[in-house]
Amino acid sequence: MKKHVHIIGGGIGGLFTAALLAKEDYPVTVLERSAHVGGGLQSFTRNGVAFDAGMHVVGGLQPGGSLNRICRHLGILDQLHYRLVDDDCGDEVFCFEDGKTYRIPQGRAAFTAYFQENFPEERENIQRYVDHLFALADQVDFFFLRPGSGTTSGDETFYQPSVQFIADHVQNPKLRHLLAYLSPLAGGEAGYTPAYIFALINYLYISGHSRFEGPAEQLAEALVAKIQELGGEVLPCAEVTSMQMTNGWVQSLTTSDGRTFATDCVVSSIHPQSLLNIADNQLFTKAARNRLASAPNNYSAYCVYVVLKEGTFPYLNHPCYCWDSYDKVWQFGKYKEENWPQNLVYFTPCERNQGTYARALQVIVFSPFSMCERWAYTTLGNRSEDYEAWKKRHTELIINKLEKKMPGFRDCVEAIYEATPLTIRDYFNEPEGALYGLLKDSRNPFAGYLPIRTKAENLFLTGQNVYLHGCCGVPLTAVMTAEAVIGEKDVIVRRL
Ligand SMILES: Cc1cc2nc3c(=O)[nH]c(=O)nc-3n(C[C@H](O)[C@H](O)[C@H](O)COP(=O)(O)OP(=O)(O)OC[C@H]3O[C@@H](n4cnc5c(N)ncnc54)[C@H](O)[C@@H]3O)c2cc1C
């Protein structure tokens, strides 16, 4: 009989790890605090229109991509409905500073040629930059699911700040900023984000990203069905509140409703600062506990969900980035109400049988948690009037910006809803509503990562704080974690 694995957290990391282990005949039980499993894959409906809470663009789902290979291995690929963004415009960047729009094509060659045409004087530099970017990504073996891999390492530019990496290749300041347009998807902060994280995210999105047709929760549903088909169980409303250990071995987990689960093995897929709250004192030394508790998190976001009047606004098959000025592309960790928002991204979620017109538009303004820190003590459904007024003002600022970019936009709006960093914190149980967990800091590269193994021999970690975040990065980590639980390197990778 194989050991029974209990997984804390039914988000992307927890579900993928559980499905991979269940496929290897391990009995698994996923414990999810929320009534809805899926974490970042959750969707919700307003005015009969579906919105995604935390998954809008997906890398690695194209044929041959890492996520595609993992889903195929699990036998869930043909249950997913998705489409690639357009070849000739995978992303659009607009800047108010000079009113220019850049329609950036998909694919390494087209991407390179596009920037070379726009900046002919930097032709050679752009070629060198793209080559180096892809070479940097190529140094990360686990990203490509190559046997024999598992750790991250690389040349002297690997942990260099991304801003410096770009500046070392191209001269034109405008080009430097444009080449960084994907920085918010990498959790990018000037001086902090290591070049290899930036390279991996660029690799994913330049190679071709996808969007789900219909809500992103379809991936969570497919994973849950697969886990159950393989004999595992997924329990919603099961918030783990404590962990009992003896002699460095986790014996059991207890949930907020008083249930106790005796266990052979545990995988934690929650934020490590949340794990601190439930972990037995034996798990961390005092110094490690203090270090982890004070580790900085990545920024959060202010999100606006717009229900559009039918037949008024076209469906856009790519995200649109909208900047006040070029030089704000790394400025997400700072906030001042008087000049907010300076930089946002909007997109129209794709429905099943998507027609010419969109029913929904989603906006994300990447912003620090500090913007709503003064209400940090409040909880969902229990906020104050001044918070509601603050929200109303901020949503209005965003709609004004969209109206400025697309005159007449207001007339397309049927209803508006929003989520703040506080909402994200409470919805995902994510400290400071951090989009991608702990801050990845090129000056202290190992502070933003956790190893899969812990001090307890039967406790393993997975999720976005181990290796890489996002819909592709987290399943990749799940493969590594599942292999660590099995205790056999490459046992899954070789089958993908
Ligand atoms: C607004 C937003 C937009 C994003 N957009 C994108 C995007 O377009 N593309 C992309 O690739 N990535 C995107 N991301 C990032 C992506 O969502 C995350 O990287 C991913 O969800 C992390 O997966 P995870 O499994 O580590 O954590 P999660 O998916 O957050 O899962 C953690 C789970 O653990 C549960 N949990 C927490 N504490 C406990 C406990 N004590 N007991 C039991 N369960 C618990 C939570 O409820 C949650 O379900 C976005 C994130 C946000 C917030």
Q: Does residue 91 sit within a domain?
A: no
User: In terms of C-beta density within 10 A (0-12 exposed, 13-18 middle, 19 or more buried), how is residue 213 classed?
Assistant: middle
Place 239 in a pLDDT band, splitting at 50, 70 and 90.
very high
Last residue of a domain, one of 192, 207, 222: 207
Q: Does residue 137 sit within a domain?
A: yes
Last residue of a domain, one of 380, 400, 433: 433
Look up the CATH number of the domain holding residue 291: 3.50.50.60
Tens of pLDDT along 259-275? Answer: 999 999 999 999 999 99
- Global pTM reads 0.97
Whether residue 244 sits in one domain with residue 193: no
- CA 98–ligand 1 middle distance (angstroms): 36
Q: Does residue 257 sit within a domain?
A: yes
Selection from 283, 186, 267 nearest residue 479 by Cα: 267
Tens of pLDDT along 35-57? Answer: 999 999 999 999 999 999 988 89
Q: How far is CA 135 from the centre of its chain?
A: 23
Whether residue 429 sits in one domain with residue 303: yes
Place 81 in a pLDDT band, splitting at 50, 70 and 90.
very high
Ligand 1 mutation target, pool 51, 466, 474, 476, most atoms within 8 A of CB: 474
Whether the predicted pLDDT of 150 surpasses 60:
no
Long-range contacts, 465-470 (Cβ 8 Å, 24+) = 465/271, 465/272, 465/437, 465/438, 467/142, 467/152, 468/143, 468/197, 468/200, 469/187, 469/435, 469/436, 469/437, 470/59, 470/185, 470/201, 470/204, 470/436
Q: How far apart are CA 188 and CA 446, in angstroms?
A: 17
Residue with tokens 């907010």: 340
Whether the predicted pLDDT of 414 surpasses 60:
yes
Atom of ligand 1 nearest to the CA of 469: 19
User: Which amino acid is located at 328 in the chain?
Assistant: K
Range of the domain at 180: 107-207
Is the model more confident about 292 or about 120? Answer: 120
Backbone angles phi and psi of 329, in degrees to 5: -70, -15
Q: Does residue 339 sit within a domain?
A: yes
HSE at residue 256, side-chain half, CA atoms within 13 A, is 10
Whether residue 412 sits in one domain with residue 346: yes
Whether residue 422 sits in one domain with residue 301: yes
Whether the predicted pLDDT of 34 surpasses 80:
yes
Whether residue 147 sits in one domain with residue 253: no
DSSP 415-437: EEEEE-HHHHHHHHT-GGG-SSS
Place 153 in a pLDDT band, splitting at 50, 70 and 90.
low
Ligand 1 mutation target, pool 6, 7, 12, most atoms within 8 A of CB: 12
% of the chain residues with pLDDT over 70 = 99
Coil/strand/helix, residue 439: coil
Contact 8, 454 (CB under 8 A): no
Place 149 in a pLDDT band, splitting at 50, 70 and 90.
low
Closest residue by CA, ligand 1 atom 32 = 11
Tens of pLDDT along 477-486? Answer: 999 999 999 9
Name the least confident of 21-35, 151-165, 239-253, 370-384: 151-165
Q: Does residue 128 sit within a domain?
A: yes
Task: Give the pocket of ligand 1 (CB within 6 Å).
Answer: 8-14, 31-34, 39-40, 54-58, 239-240, 269-270, 274, 278, 301, 303, 424, 428-430, 435-436, 463-464, 469-471, 474
Q: How far apart are CA 269 and CA 44, in angstroms?
A: 22
Whether the predicted pLDDT of 152 surpasses 70:
no
Total domains in the fold of the chain: 3
Ligand 1 mutation target, pool 471, 476, 477, 480, most atoms within 8 A of CB: 471
Name the least confident of 41-55, 268-282, 405-419, 444-458: 444-458
Whether residue 281 sits in one domain with residue 244: yes
Atom of ligand 1 nearest to the CA of 462: 26
Atom of ligand 1 nearest to the CA of 301: 1
Both tokens of 385, joined, read 């009037």
User: Which amino acid is located at 486 in the chain?
Assistant: I
Atom of ligand 1 nearest to the CA of 37: 49
Atom of ligand 1 nearest to the CA of 40: 21
Q: Does residue 83 sit within a domain?
A: no
Whether residue 202 sits in one domain with residue 138: yes
Closest residue by CA, ligand 1 atom 31 = 11
Q: For residues 271-280, b (16+ Cβ closer than 10 Å) or e, as one string?
A: bbbbbbebbb
- CA 425–ligand 1 middle distance (angstroms): 10
Q: Does residue 33 sit within a domain?
A: yes
Backbone angles phi and psi of 143, in degrees to 5: -60, -30
Tens of pLDDT along 341-380? Answer: 999 999 999 999 999 999 999 999 999 999 999 999 998 8
Average pLDDT for the chain:
94
- CA 436–ligand 1 middle distance (angstroms): 8
Return the pLDDT at 151. 54
Tens of pLDDT along 418-446? Answer: 999 999 999 999 999 999 999 998 888 77
Whether residue 428 sits in one domain with residue 359: yes
HSE at residue 225, side-chain half, CA atoms within 13 A, is 11
Whether residue 193 sits in one domain with residue 248: no
Q: Does residue 70 sit within a domain?
A: no
Whether residue 304 sits in one domain with residue 425: yes
Selection from 282, 319, 327, 56 nearest residue 178 by Cα: 327
Q: How far apart are CA 414 and CA 397, in angstroms?
A: 17
- CA 491–ligand 1 middle distance (angstroms): 27
User: In terms of C-beta density within 10 A (0-12 exposed, 13-18 middle, 19 or more buried), how is residue 149 classed?
Assistant: middle
- CA 114–ligand 1 middle distance (angstroms): 34
Ligand 1 mutation target, pool 268, 275, 429, 439, most atoms within 8 A of CB: 429
Closest residue by CA, ligand 1 atom 4 = 54
Whether residue 220 sits in one domain with residue 203: no
Whether residue 219 sits in one domain with residue 159: no
Contact 330, 180 (CB under 8 A): yes
Atom of ligand 1 nearest to the CA of 241: 41
Q: How far apart are CA 27 and CA 140, in angstroms?
A: 31
Selection from 239, 195, 293, 180 nearest residue 426 by Cα: 239
Last residue of a domain, one of 207, 224, 242: 207
